[in-house]
Amino acid sequence: MAIEIGSNPSIGVNDAGNSKRTETDKQKQTSNEQTPTTSTNTDSVRLTQSGKQLSELASRIDNIPSVDSDKVDAIKKAIANGDYEIDAERIASKLTNFESLLP
């Protein structure tokens, strides 16, 4: 496989066969070096009123128990007394509605 030395215009070859940068590469590097990379600005965050409200609601939700213990106790008591009635038609209807939503 032959290598064509003059095929890439951005790379030149000196007499010793070592690659060297062309003038355009040197100019690009010089312009990049002159660009300052440090910044004296500091970051800051300011919440809007709606952001504050969302944060407050999120903390309220975190404090709400995920299970309504009073309702669970009432159902347990009704089952123990034999007073809890099961509506089979309602359960069947809810199951078929749920299944219709599945892909």
**Chain segment 63-96, per-residue pLDDT in tens:** 888 899 999 999 999 999 999 999 999 999 999 9
> DSSP of 26-79, one letter per residue?
HHHHHHHHHS-------------HHHHHHHHHHHHHHHS-SS-HHHHHHHHHHH
Q: What local confidence, expressed as pLDDT, does residue 97 receive?
A: 96
Percent of all residues in the chain with a pLDDT value above 70, rounded to a whole number: 62
Domain boundaries, the chain: 5-33, 68-103
More confident residue, 19 or 81: 81
Confidence check: pLDDT of 35 > 60: no
Q: In the predicted model, what is the mean pLDDT of residues 25-50?
A: 69
Q: Which of 48-52, 57-61, 73-77 has the lowest mean pLDDT?
A: 48-52
* The pLDDT value given to residue 56: 92
pLDDT of amino acid 3: 67
Do residues 13 and 20 make contact, with C-beta atoms less than 8 angstroms apart? yes
Q: Is the pLDDT of residue 48 over 80?
A: yes
With the C-alpha atoms ordered 38, 39, 42, 45, is the resulting torsion angle positive or negative? negative
User: Is residue 82 classed as helix, strand or coil in its secondary structure?
Assistant: coil
